């Protein structure tokens, strides 16, 4: 009895000493009020500009004026908007029931300050054309914002939906002189222990539908094998594999164990980008496209569970014209093309003037499925006599070598319909980008880059479709890309967790609003 009393006193003392938060977490977990998500990396500072923070947590905390669904703008903090006939004035009407997590109401002045700050830093965001075209921001009342543009910007609504950096926030100086950010989103970050966990609490003052869970705990678990054990033990309720760390084989094994496993195709496309400055001959690029057995890739990689891709963008993107040409697998024709310039050497590979036909393929480290894809492609291209050299680099090294044109080809994943097509086209025609470097050998590069720029200044759908038809036609004629398959996202949940639906338009967002625990 004496020992029990001592333990109770010790527990009460610890609660007073450490505060409520740690014990609240354990209490809420026990009561089923906390959703426990495993994630492989630290989530960073979760400020609205931090590129070191995953977009899904920024999406939980902050919101933009508009969102995107199936390639179309939908209301968020702006409940409605009008665009003048000349396409140069956007009038946004803000919701009147929105508050930041510190209790401050959303106003047009705060929106103006947010966007004006980005315009002042527009050189850092070259992919956002709207920042270059907005000449004036007016706030006629507390809930109306007007953007005045120098020229038409067809990408404006699309860009306003971006999680980073165009979400709206309120900031003030903290106790230690640091800048503290507040959002209007469904979740409020309450605790963030670097490389351990982060705790989010439901925003009870949220203007829209509130999540079913009261808390979300994101545990940082770098190793997939440890995540699997956390799922088995109940230390994690779910894992959403955004980085390709979980192989298909591991996912299938977890499914056999009884976990709920989903593989969802996305609007992002996994493709090969060809460096036209290094692979200058169009016939070689065409032979590569014809020699790519996409169905074979999908069968080897995922037992046929992925969707084949034909274009840089998905066919359901509103700006995509119908009936565009694409290359189908034809190994015989690929051999015939290569036979005209290269002969088979003593081994399996082709040669010309004693030099082997050898090409490098760059891709970022850490993605098991892309590593397997590179090996599949190596074997596939060997059958038409091309010696493919997979080149796996850390992500920062991969990006730098891509921008500098060091690879002959790269594995690349497009941004998805939530960001397409305008920001991609801006990136492609911007000096210093990897795509700009890779496309400089295109026969019609000047006309291509001009079309990319003019399309954003075109307010009429018919002209947008004509530009996209030309751009896609140039991609096809120059063989700038070899689309492979729609990217996918794998999620694993314990059997008592239901309601998770991946967002097909954006792999980097994890919407857990409707997730609940079954009893």
| DSSP letter, residue 210 | P
Q: How far apart are CA 97 and CA 95, in angstroms?
A: 6
Say how far apart CA 438 and CA 407 lie, in whole Å. Answer: 9
Residue 18's pLDDT is what? 45
Query: What structural domains and CATH numbers belong to the chain?
Result: 63-172 (3.40.190.10), 267-487 (3.10.105.10)
For 26-40, the pLDDT digits (tens) are 554 445 699 999 999
Adjacent-strand bridge partners of 388: 359
- Strand 89-94, strand 197-202: pairing: unpaired
Q: Are strands 409-413 and 358-364 parallel, antiparallel or unpaired?
A: parallel
DSSP structure string for 211-270:
PS-SEEEEEE---HHHHHHHHHHTS-SEEEESSS-S-HHHHHHHHHHT-EEEEEEEEEEE
- The whole-model pTM stands at 0.83
Say if residues 402 and 375 touch (Cβ distance below 8 Å): no
Exposure string over 236-275, b if 16+ CB within 10 A, otherwise e? bbbbbbbbbbbbbebbeebeeeebbbbbbbbbbbbbbbbb
Q: What share of the chain is helix, strand, coil (3-state, %, to 5)?
A: 35, 25, 40
Q: Kind of pairing, strands 358-364 and 387-393?
A: parallel
Tally of CB atoms within 10 A around 220: 16
- d(CA 192, CA 428) in angstroms, rounded, equals 37
The distance from CA 150 to its chain's CA centroid, rounded to whole angstroms, is 30
Q: What is the pLDDT of residue 27?
A: 52
Q: Where are the alpha helices (DSSP H) in 82-220?
A: 108-120, 130-133, 156-160
Q: Check residue 244 and give its pLDDT.
A: 82
**Cα–Cα distance, 377 to 289 (Å, whole number):** 12
* Low-confidence residues in the chain, pLDDT < 70: 1-32, 174, 176-177
First to last CA, the chain: 36
Angle between helices 224-233 and 248-257 (to 10 degrees): 10
- Return d(Cα 58, Cα 63) in angstroms, integer: 8
Distance in angstroms (rounded) separating the CA atoms of residues 108 and 93: 9
Are residues 488 and 309 in contact, defined by beta-carbon separation less than 8 angstroms?
no
Q: Determine contact, residues 136/437, Cβ cutoff 8 Å.
A: no
Q: How far is CA 193 from CA 55, 200, 289, in A?
A: 18, 12, 48
What is the Cα–Cα distance from 387 to 410, expressed in whole angstroms? 15
pLDDT value, residue 183: 96
- Pick from 213, 197, 193: nearest CA to 38: 197
């Amino acid at each position: 009895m004496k020992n029990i009393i001592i333990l109770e006193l010790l527990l009460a003392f610890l609660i007073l000493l450490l505060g409520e938060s740690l014990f609240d977490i354990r209490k809420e977990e026990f009561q089923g009020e906390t959703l426990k998500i495993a994630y492989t990396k630290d989530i960073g500072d979760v400020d609205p500009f931090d590129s070191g923070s995953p977009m899904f947590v920024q999406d939980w905390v902050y919101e933009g004026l508009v969102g995107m669904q199936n390639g179309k703008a939908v209301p968020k903090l702006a409940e409605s908007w009008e665009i003048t006939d000349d396409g140069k004035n956007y009038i946004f009407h803000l919701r009147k029931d929105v508050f930041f997590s510190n209790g401050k109401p959303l106003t047009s002045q705060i929106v103006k300050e947010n966007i004006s700050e980005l315009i002042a830093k527009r050189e850092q965001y070259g992919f956002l054309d709207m920042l270059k075209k907005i000449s004036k921001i007016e706030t006629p009342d507390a809930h109306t914002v007007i953007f005045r543009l120098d020229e038409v910007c067809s990408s404006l609504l699309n860009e306003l939906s971006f999680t980073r950096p165009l979400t709206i926030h309120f900031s003030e100086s903290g106790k230690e002189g640091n800048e503290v950010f507040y959002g209007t989103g469904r979740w409020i970050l309450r605790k963030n222990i670097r490389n351990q966990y982060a705790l989010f609490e439901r925003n009870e003052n949220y203007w829209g539908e509130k999540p079913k869970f009261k808390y979300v705990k994101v545990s940082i678990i770098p190793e997939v094998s440890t995540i699997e054990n956390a799922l088995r033990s109940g230390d994690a309720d779910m894992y959403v594999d955004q980085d390709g760390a979980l192989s298909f084989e591991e996912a299938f094994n977890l499914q056999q164990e009884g976990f709920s496993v989903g593989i969802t195709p996305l609007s992002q496309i996994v493709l090969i980008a060809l460096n036209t400055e290094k692979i200058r001959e169009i016939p070689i690029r065409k032979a590569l496209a014809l020699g790519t057995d996409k169905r074979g890739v999908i069968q080897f990689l995922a037992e046929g569970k992925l969707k084949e891709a034909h274009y840089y963008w998905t066919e359901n993107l509103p700006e995509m014209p119908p009936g565009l040409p694409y290359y189908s697998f034809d190994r015989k024709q690929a051999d015939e093309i290569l036979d005209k310039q290269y002969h088979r050497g003593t081994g399996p590979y082709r040669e010309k003037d004693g030099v082997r036909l050898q090409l490098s393929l760059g891709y970022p480290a850490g993605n098991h499925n892309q590593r397997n894809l590179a090996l599949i492609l190596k074997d596939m291209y060997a059958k038409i006599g091309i010696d493919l050299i997979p080149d796996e680099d850390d992500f920062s090294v991969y990006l730098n070598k891509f921008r500098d044109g060091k690879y002959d080809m790269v594995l690349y994943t497009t941004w998805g319909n939530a960001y397409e097509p305008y920001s991609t086209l801006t990136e492609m025609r911007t000096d210093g980008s990897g795509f700009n470097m890779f496309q400089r050998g295109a026969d019609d590069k000047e006309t291509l880059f001009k079309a990319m720029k003019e399309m954003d200044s075109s307010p009429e759908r018919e002209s947008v479709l004509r530009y996209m038809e030309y751009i896609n036609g140039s991609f096809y004629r120059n063989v700038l890309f070899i689309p492979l398959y729609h990217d996918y996202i794998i999620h694993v949940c314990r059997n008592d967790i239901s309601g998770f639906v991946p967002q097909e338009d954006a792999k980097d967002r994890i919407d857990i609003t409707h997730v609940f625990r079954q009893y």
